[in-house]
Structure 1
Amino acid sequence: MAPPNDPKQSASGSGGGFFSSIASSLSNFGTAMTRSVNGLVAYEGLEVINPEGGTEDAEEEASKGRWKQEDRDSHWKMMQKYIGSDVTSMVTLPVLIFEPMSMLQKMAELMEYSHLLDLADECEDPYMRLVYAASFFISVYYAYQRTWKPFNPILGETYELTNHGGLTFISEQVSHHPPISAGHAENEHFTYDITSKVKTKFLGNSIEIYPLGRTRVTLKRDCVVLDLVPPPTKVSNLIFGRTWIDSPGEMVLTNMTTGDKVVLYFQPCGWFGAGRYEVDGYVYNSAEEPQILMTGKWNESMNYQPCDMEGEPRSGTELKELFTISGWSNEQVWRVAEAPKNDKFQYTYFAHKLNSFDTAPKKLLASDSRLRPDRYGLEHGDLSKAGYEKSSLEERQRAEKRNREAKGQQFTPRWFDQTDEIHPTPWGDLEVYQYNGKYTEHRAAKDNSDSIEESDIQSMEFNPWQYENLAAE
């Protein structure tokens, strides 16, 4: 008898098998410790969630975090009116909660473990292929646990990533209202295409983030197309307490060519942190029969093991770990890489590279995120400069919009074209943008022309505004 698609249901019906403990932990632990800040004036009923489930009272927990009391109180008064609303592009936020990276760079951060897609393309076993690909999409969640907010991209802003895994990556902010980003990556093994738009719900001291996006990976050897539906994310203790992030729910990765799929369940954080980071699920064939079980933690590593029709480990097999560290056997494919100690923004080594010119082409687009003056100011610890430059960029963006509207013009992205396709997601419909191939031509022309010194790149002025002029670079 084939188990149901939901791995939690499979576990509960397996009678003491491998995933029975998972079902038990879900039912026993429930949700993280929640308390209301009842003792503070004007904060009656405000939710503070402590994932460690400490014994201290809510008022003590609420006083912790990165905010100074006067900043916290002022921001709370401003934000109260938005409770229940989608605040994706409604609110101007203080620079002290930002990290020195734009959302376009955050999109590129997924490419750190791109070699997993290379392995998926080379893999002949259709189910192990999905193990590699699913591990690639899990790998970015270690970076997603950072509690600092990336800068919203300016309309027309871009980000280029080269010198990594033989791939080229280009992303572009293609719409401002609603905010939509598009990205394309490619090497000899795969192409990666994403249209990203988020929907939010502000809940007072937390915010729920719903990923309205379309992510497609094409593995070149067999022309296999993979489609991803990620889980939503919740950011708790935005203003009061220590901010932390959880992504409870299902991730579904479907092989659109064969109908095989992976269903992975990201467990919610339970009492005293139980279940936090844990991911469990199965690789299914097109008949929805489990073939391989996967289990692990999205902030550490993933493991896999062949399973039977009941979802239980096959006799004579063992749980195998998935690593990225070179020198391990091919059976070991993914473990999170070592990160710097006590890094201010919780950056990985790869995240630091995304801000450097080491991962940039020599002839960088003037619209690249690295050149943003607010990002640069924050990176060097000058909050005053970062705040001033952020406000200046946002005002310039509004002025550009007024000028376009006065002239009856419409913004046209440079590297992506809007299609007629409307893609349904569990949280709403999405306008789909597709890569138009022009960046490949542009990069080839630039790389084959006379070289430019790196010092010239560092002195470039951020300019996402006049694309008709940039086209003549």
Structure 2
Amino acid sequence: METKKIVLTKPFTTIDNQSSNSDGSYKAPNILHQVLNLFKNVRLGSDLSRFKLPPIFNMPKSQLQWYGECVYSTATGVDLLNNINNGKTALDRLISVVAWTISTTRPQSFGVAPYNPILGETHHVSKGNLNVLVEQVSHHPQVSAFHATDQKENIEIILCHFPVPKFVGSGVEAIMHGKRKLRLHNHGETYEMNCPNFLFRFLPVPGIDWVGDVTIRCHETGLVAELGYIRQSFFGFGGNRRRIKGKIFDSLTMNVLYIVDGHWDSTVTLKDASNAEVRVIYDAKQILSGLHTPFVKDPENVWPTESALVWGELSQAIISNDWEKAREAKKTVEETQRILQRERESKREIWIPKHFIVSQSNEDGWSCSPIQKWVPDAPIVTL
């Protein structure tokens, strides 16, 4: 019996390097014509959650890996979460949370998207003391649960992610439902925030962007940050390309404390509302340059549900530009899932996530609570 391959690929680095989105051997093809043909019969406003992409439109990694990379992949020596924890005041910590939130806004290559995760798929990686675990807790709709912990720093991140992609005429916009909670247990503070929407634009100028409003709120301190990811004009004119603007204020007094301005793919500054002093709080080149590909430290303890294992054959075929093999590999994974689903239905079994307790409500949508207090060390690590 052939052993399955574990294929791990390089995270996205900076915008200037977005044409290379794997380990350096894979380069996203120029497929604008194919993209336009793919969507020519799709109606405006259509929900594309069940839309299946041919392998040529996939990058060699799962969406769970992409979610994980947004948190654990930073430049060597950079620890944004530790910086938050070391803030001397609540305001210092909120400013660091703003910088960390912007750092999770990552570039992506035009024309390709990660694989839709299968039910029960996981991605488990460690970086230093930070352990990250993502699990696909629903397939229709696509819902991913995220848990990251640093036991040494007493930090925890929880997210239940529910993207809904819709065709908007000039492209596809994924509405990113779900709240992210960042807990600093040493300070008794929880920062709750939403995510910007992901815009895949192919007319009139092809491109990728993040758009929409993000609110970061700490209920314990009353401090709030509001960030706006600005949309470009239809023809791309003006200075709003990847622009981010916002403010930090005290919700108890409504006093504006700082003004946020810049570009999420370069630098973001903070202007003190009291004395107009300006300083840089985020530098994308510094944070996202020279990212390392995760590697398998303990192959025997890699879970069979690990993204890099589940999609290993497909990822390798995409990197090798072997599209016939890629189609076969993708079909095999998807058909296996259909068989398992039919078996569960015939036995009237309800699938239960392994690492999260999942609930739904009309007010909050999907909610995911980790079963374990601390994410265990992973057999896959990154520097």
TM over 0.5, shorter chain: yes
Q: 1:174 matched to which residue of 2?
A: 137
- Secondary structure (helix, strand or coil) at the match of 2:187 reads coil
- Report matched runs for 1:233-272 at 5 Å: 233-237=198-202, 243-270=206-233, 271-272=236-237
Q: 2:3 matched to which residue of 1?
A: none
- Secondary structure (helix, strand or coil) at the match of 1:432 reads strand
> Does 2:365 match 1:430?
yes
Instruction: Give the letter aligned to residue 128 of structure 1.
Output: D
Q: 2:301 matched to which residue of 1?
A: 363
Q: 2:243 matched to which residue of 1?
A: 278
**CA distances 1:10-69 after superposition (whole Å, capped 9, x unpaired):** xxxxxxxxxxxxxxxxxxxxxxxxxxxxxxxxxxxxxxxxxxxxxxxxxxxxxxx82275
Confirm or deny: 8 A CA contact 1:415 1:438 kept in the other structure. Answer: no
Q: 2:352 matched to which residue of 1?
A: 412
Q: 2:278 matched to which residue of 1?
A: 319
Q: 2:44 matched to which residue of 1?
A: 83
Looking at secondary structure, tell me which structure has more strand per residue.
2
Confirm or deny: 8 A CA contact 1:250 1:263 kept in the other structure. Answer: yes
Confirm or deny: 8 A CA contact 1:228 1:251 kept in the other structure. Answer: yes
Q: In terms of mean alpha carbon deviation, does 431-440 or 139-148 score higher?
A: 139-148
TM-score (norm 2): 0.81
Instruction: Give the letter aligned to residue 372 of structure 2.
Output: G
Which residue, 283, 286, 292 being the options, matches 1:337?
286
Q: 1:469 matched to which residue of 2?
A: none
Confirm or deny: 8 A CA contact 1:303 1:320 kept in the other structure. Answer: yes
Which residue, 211, 217, 223 being the options, matches 2:176?
211
> Does 2:348 match 1:389?
no
Which residue, 248, 251, 271 being the options, matches 1:305?
271
TM-superposed deviation, 1:152: 0.6
Looking at secondary structure, tell me which structure has more helix per residue.
1
Judged with a 3 Å threshold, the aligned counterparts in structure 2 of structure 1 residues 337 and 151 are, in CA distance, closer, same or farther, namely farther
Confirm or deny: 8 A CA contact 2:90 2:221 kept in the other structure. Answer: no
Q: In terms of mean alpha carbon deviation, does 404-413 or 293-302 score higher?
A: 293-302
Q: 1:450 matched to which residue of 2?
A: none
TM-superposed deviation, 1:374: 1.2
**CA distances 1:300-333 after superposition (whole Å, capped 9, x unpaired):** 122213213xxxxx1xx6311135xxxxxxxxxx
Question: How many residues get paired?
Answer: 342
Q: 2:6 matched to which residue of 1?
A: none
Distance in 2 of aligned mates of 1:186 and 1:438: 8
Q: 1:197 matched to which residue of 2?
A: 162
TM-superposed deviation, 1:403: 0.8
- Structure with higher Rg: it is 1
Distance in 1 of aligned mates of 2:262 and 2:83: 20
**CA distances 1:55-95 after superposition (whole Å, capped 9, x unpaired):** xxxxxxxxxx82275x4575345xx1443211112x21111
Q: 1:402 matched to which residue of 2?
A: 342
Q: 2:103 matched to which residue of 1?
A: 139
Confirm or deny: 8 A CA contact 2:70 2:106 kept in the other structure. Answer: no
- Secondary structure (helix, strand or coil) at the match of 1:385 reads helix
- Report matched runs for 1:460-471 at 5 Å: none
Q: 1:20 matched to which residue of 2?
A: none
Instruction: Give the letter aligned to residue 387 of structure 1.
Output: R
> Does 2:32 match 1:97?
no
**Gapped runs of 5+ residues in structure 1?**
1-64, 309-313, 324-333, 340-347, 448-453, 455-473
Judged with a 3 Å threshold, the aligned counterparts in structure 2 of structure 1 residues 320 and 76 are, in CA distance, closer, same or farther, namely closer
Structure with larger RCO (C-alpha < 8 A, sep 6+): 2
TM-superposed deviation, 1:273: 4.9
TM-superposed deviation, 1:408: 0.3
**Gapped runs of 5+ residues in structure 2?**
1-28
Distance in 1 of aligned mates of 2:182 and 2:101: 11
Distance in 2 of aligned mates of 1:144 and 1:380: 20
Which residue, 83, 93, 118 being the options, matches 2:82?
118
**CA distances 1:233-289 after superposition (whole Å, capped 9, x unpaired):** 32111xx77631222322110012222110112222134252111212111113221
Judged with a 3 Å threshold, the aligned counterparts in structure 2 of structure 1 residues 179 and 338 are, in CA distance, closer, same or farther, namely closer
- Secondary structure (helix, strand or coil) at the match of 1:258 reads coil
**CA distances 1:417-463 after superposition (whole Å, capped 9, x unpaired):** 113x5374xxxx522111100874xx46x98xxxxxx9xxxxxxxxx
Confirm or deny: 8 A CA contact 2:172 2:201 kept in the other structure. Answer: yes
- Secondary structure (helix, strand or coil) at the match of 2:221 reads coil
- Report matched runs for 1:370-381 at 5 Å: 370-371=308-309, 372=311, 373-381=313-321
Judged with a 3 Å threshold, the aligned counterparts in structure 2 of structure 1 residues 257 and 392 are, in CA distance, closer, same or farther, namely same
Distance in 2 of aligned mates of 1:282 and 1:361: 46
Confirm or deny: 8 A CA contact 1:161 1:361 kept in the other structure. Answer: no
Distance in 1 of aligned mates of 2:193 and 2:85: 16
RMSD: 2.8
